Amino acid sequence: MADLAALTAAIEAGDRATAVRITREAVEEGLDPRTVLGAMTVAMEVIGAKFQCQEIYVPEMLISARAMKEATAVLEPVLVKAGIRPEHTAVLGTIKGDLHDIGKNLVGMMWKGANIEVIDLGTNVTPERFVEAAKEHGATIVGISALLTTTMVGMKDVVTAIRAANLADVKVIVGGAPLTQDFADMIGADGYASDAASAVEAARKAIRGG
Ligand code: B1M
């Protein structure tokens, strides 16, 4: 029988081959895909916690996220067939004028690991594009990343555009090296995270409404 504890351990260790093999076994045995997804998500929670307390660093997090991605690709058709959808959809991008995307990509991976569907708009994203994509995909989260002090100010325009478009259910989460909680509050964002792991909790908290 597929060993789900070993699946969790494989993702934590970034062992892609083992993670994919156990996921295939679980699928062939007809295990509930939610249970399998749960075993994967736990691994990313552990990775997130270890990253936050600097027990591991960006490379290890990327390796685990890659293992998670390959294992979820095996599970995805079964989830779709069973009508199991991600809990939320997020539109994610780096702000207009900014081409840094490594941190943004990590946030995307962590959100996917937390069962949030991620529509990645890439870099240099205008406020109009964030709004369009949020409408098109029925997103409940808009995530914006900025790495430059010159571009972070443009985040306020995205918040303003989202509010002007009457997207009342959309929560805006912001992050990036030059940002602070004070800045996020000042521009009226619904959440701020200092790293990719806390971006999961920031999104959940904003959706819960505090
Ligand atoms: Co640039 N760059 N860069 N750069 N670059 C910085 C940011 C800089 C601090 C370097 C320095 O001067 N010491 C500086 C900014 C100074 C400032 O504004 N205060 C800088 C500069 C000036 C520039 C250029 C202007 C340089 C030039 O051309 N003269 C230029 C700008 C181009 C542009 O964007 N228009 C530029 C270009 C580049 C490269 C293209 C060469 C490359 C980017 C490649 C890429 O991303 N694909 C690059 C890089 C790599 C860096 C550094 C070295 C590393 C950034 C990085 O990836 N960090 C950076 C210096 C540094 O940070 N040491 C620097 C790793 C990443 C995991 O961390 O992105 O902070 P970070 O993400 C974290 C958190 O911030 C948070 O979670 C992530 C994971 O924990 N987070 C979020 C990020 N987004 C989030 C969103 C959230 C929540 C959390 O919610 C949605």
Domains of the chain as residue ranges with CATH: 4-81 (1.10.1240.10), 88-208 (3.40.50.280)
Q: Which of 177, 193, 183 is nearest to 155 (CA)?
A: 183
Q: Whose CA is nearest to atom 68 of ligand 1?
A: 103
How confident is the model over 28-48, as a mean pLDDT? 91
**Ligand 1 neighbourhood includes 193 CB (under 6 angstroms):** yes
The pLDDT mean for the chain works out to 94
Quote the ligand 1 centre to 196 CA distance (angstroms): 14
Q: Is the pLDDT confidence value at 198 over 80? A: yes
Give the residue ranges of DSSP H helices in 115-209.
127-137, 149-152, 155-164, 181-186, 196-208
Res 210: pLDDT? 66
Q: What sign does the CA torsion over 150, 154, 156, 159 have? A: negative
**Ligand 1 neighbourhood includes 145 CB (under 6 angstroms):** yes
Q: What sign does the CA torsion over 144, 147, 149, 151 have? A: negative
How confident is the model over 105-123, as a mean pLDDT? 91
Tokens 């369009």 correspond to 132
What pLDDT digit, counting tens, does each position of 55-105 carry?
Answer: 999 999 999 989 998 998 899 888 888 877 888 999 999 999 999 998 898
**Ligand 1 neighbourhood includes 107 CB (under 6 angstroms):** yes
